[in-house]
Amino acid sequence: MKTQKTILLVINPIAGGTDKKPIINRFKTFVTEKNYVAEVYETTGEGDQKAIKDLVDRINPDRVFISGGDGTIREVADVLKEKDIKIALLPSGSANGLAENLNLPEELDEQLNIGLADHFMELDTIDVNGLSCLHIADIGVNAQLIKNYEQSEIRGKFGYLLQAFPTLVSSKFPFEVSLTVNGETMEKEGILVAIANANKFGTGANINPQGKMNDGKFEVLIFKNFSITEILKTFYGSTNLDPDFVEVICCTEVELKTGKPIALQVDGEYLGEETTVKASMNPHKIAVAVPADYKL
């Protein structure tokens, strides 16, 4: 008798503030009908990486489905680093940045079909202060916004919106930053410095139109000021942002130093205030399931 392969679902029950039972139940039925064994791990927020690692070592899944926001994807990718296990996404966070960049459909069954099919992208991973980053890390206003959101009671997109105003009037911005990139050190001033593997934030704003998630490089984007016109352009996916608003440097390694501690976020998760951020391209890539018509 042929041994059945196992598909693991790692799911964050609190992501996006929605009930996850429908996703878990549908996942179980769907993969069982396709003759796989379904295994589910629900994150607890404590010691998940160790627990997932132990589970993966024990059950040796054929691939791992991840349901949550980018924070959950990042944590699982960290565990699977150096293991040759493919991942698939069932987005359920409040802002699903990575899924937005991969053009994943909204419908759960379509996502499950893509996850079980054989179209993959070898996604770059960046090390940011020792953590894996698949999507976008940044210091400045966006990270501050995520911090304020995480401390608030309201989840979901509305929660982000509510935090926008107090964040934008904070006295911390703009800040001075020294960047060492491509063998050169430069002094800049900005409101946000992003280290971007992907193009878009989870809100859909296309901050890095030139970025490719599988080219072995990332972009450093220095947003210099608040320009409503340019911010709106990012929302409409313009590939033509004004250099007075954002400066873009393509590289494989960067060091950022700020005079005062500035909020840092990696893939949607606030990581505290830092004065130094080091990022470098990790030689390890992770295969992620993409729609058949996804253009690499």
Ligand X SMILES: Nc1ncnc2c1ncn2[C@@H]1O[C@H](COP(=O)(O)OP(=O)(O)OP(=O)(O)O)[C@@H](O)[C@H]1O
Q: Please give the residue ranges that form the binding site for ligand X (CB under 6 A).
A: 12-16, 43-45, 68-72, 93-96, 202, 268-269
User: What does the alpha-carbon distance between residue 41 and residue 54 come to, in Å, rounded to a whole number?
Assistant: 11
Give the DSSP H or E segment for 66. strand 63-67
User: What does the alpha-carbon distance between residue 176 and residue 190 come to, in Å, rounded to a whole number?
Assistant: 7
Nearer Cβ to ligand X (129/180): 129
* Residue 11 contacts residue 71 (beta carbons within 8 Å): no
Instruction: Name the β-bridge partners of 181.
Output: 184, 254
Nearer Cβ to ligand X (13/291): 13
* Residue 218 contacts residue 195 (beta carbons within 8 Å): yes
Structure tokens at 194: 């992003």
DSSP 56: H
Nearer Cβ to ligand X (12/148): 12
Nearer Cβ to ligand X (222/266): 266
* Closest separation in Å from C-beta 78 to ligand X: 12
Q: Is 216 exposed, middle or buried (0-12, 13-18, 19+ CB in 10 A)?
A: exposed
Nearer Cβ to ligand X (16/61): 16
CA atoms within 13 A on the CB side of 32: 9
Nearest to 145 by CA among 158, 160, 155: 160
Nearest to 191 by CA among 255, 246, 257: 246
* Closest separation in Å from C-beta 271 to ligand X: 10
* Closest separation in Å from C-beta 249 to ligand X: 26
* Closest separation in Å from C-beta 259 to ligand X: 29
Give the residue closest to ligand X by C-beta: 69
> Could you give the C-alpha distances from 216 to 118, 130, 168, in angstroms and in order?
22, 18, 33
Nearer Cβ to ligand X (69/190): 69
* Closest separation in Å from C-beta 89 to ligand X: 11
Nearer Cβ to ligand X (11/177): 11
User: What does the alpha-carbon distance between residue 16 and residue 159 come to, in Å, rounded to a whole number?
Assistant: 10
* Closest separation in Å from C-beta 108 to ligand X: 17
* Closest separation in Å from C-beta 43 to ligand X: 3
